[in-house]
Amino acid sequence: MTKRGATLSTSDARRDVVVDAAIAEFARGGYHSTPISAVAAKADISPAYVFKLFPSKVSLFVAALDRCYELVTHALANGAARADGEDPGRLLYEMGGAYAELIADRNLLMLQVHAQSAADTPEIADAVRRGLAKVTEFARSRSGAGDEQVQRFIAYGQLCHLIATLDLDEHAGEWAAVLSAGIRHPGKN
């Protein structure tokens, strides 16, 4: 579809579509093993045009990451709204729940995992730090929790990533139950 000269569109609208496609594709294969052509196919666009919308592969990846952290922050805000005015622990708990719901489809989660692994590319490391700063600072200021509670919040988020990456709630035995206990895990898909 969208063969020879179909649906004209503005390049800004296209850029959004491409970013969505990039999130999905990069989440599947990671930065290095996802070709631009895969993203282009998902966005129903030629590979060449992706390079007209974004100057390079890495800048597209960064755009996807930025969007990812933006969505995460929004989710945290929504979660916090569910326990507005209550104590910090309760607020963080709701934020965690909202995060778990958001990453239920695993795309945003896997993108973060892959980004961490690709952090030897400076632009990517910067983007991850920027996003993590945003999330951490929001969690702290919005919940009013102390440093230790916030640290714990992020640490269990990382554990959650590990569990999901390895499908620990399916494949596994005793030890996996220990790690997954009480974590609101994203149901498959």
Partner DNA sequence: CCATCGAGTGATTGACCAGTCACTCACAAC
Partner DNA sequence: GTTGTGAGTGACTGGTCAATCACTCGATGG
| Residue ranges that bind DNA, judged by CB under 7 A | 2, 4-5, 7-11, 14, 33-37, 44-49, 51-52, 56-58
> What distance in Å separates the CA atoms of residue 129 and residue 116, rounded to the nearest whole number?
10
| Binding residue (CB under 8 A) for its own copies from 19, 67, 76, 140 | 140
Q: Which does 89 bind (CB under 5 to 8 A by kind): its own copies, DNA, none?
A: none
In angstroms, the Cα distances linking 66 to 43, 90, 127, 142 are: 19, 28, 7, 21
Sign (positive/negative) of CA torsion 146, 102, 33, 130? negative
Q: Which two tokens stand for residue 66?
A: 């930025």
Nearer to DNA, 54 or 69 (CB): 54
Q: Which does 71 bind (CB under 5 to 8 A by kind): its own copies, DNA, none?
A: none
| Binding residue (CB under 8 A) for its own copies from 37, 167, 187, 188 | 167
Nearer to DNA, 36 or 110 (CB): 36
H-helix segments, 54-121: 57-81, 88-102, 107-117
If one asks whether residue 106 binds its own copies (CB under 8 A), the answer comes out as no
Question: Contact at 8 Å (CB) between 58 and 121?
Answer: yes
Q: Which does 46 bind (CB under 5 to 8 A by kind): its own copies, DNA, none?
A: DNA
Residues of span 15-54 touching its own copies by CB under 8 A = 28-30, 32-33
> What distance in Å separates the CA atoms of residue 180 and residue 182, rounded to the nearest whole number?
6
Nearer to its own copies, 27 or 75 (CB): 27
Q: What region does 144 belong to: left with phi over 0, alpha with psi -120 to 50, or beta?
A: left
Name residues whose C-beta falls within 8 Å of residue 95's C-beta, 6 or more positions apart in sequence.
76, 79, 80, 139, 142, 143, 153
Q: Which does 11 bind (CB under 5 to 8 A by kind): DNA, its own copies, none?
A: DNA
If one asks whether residue 154 binds its own copies (CB under 8 A), the answer comes out as yes
Nearer to DNA, 11 or 151 (CB): 11
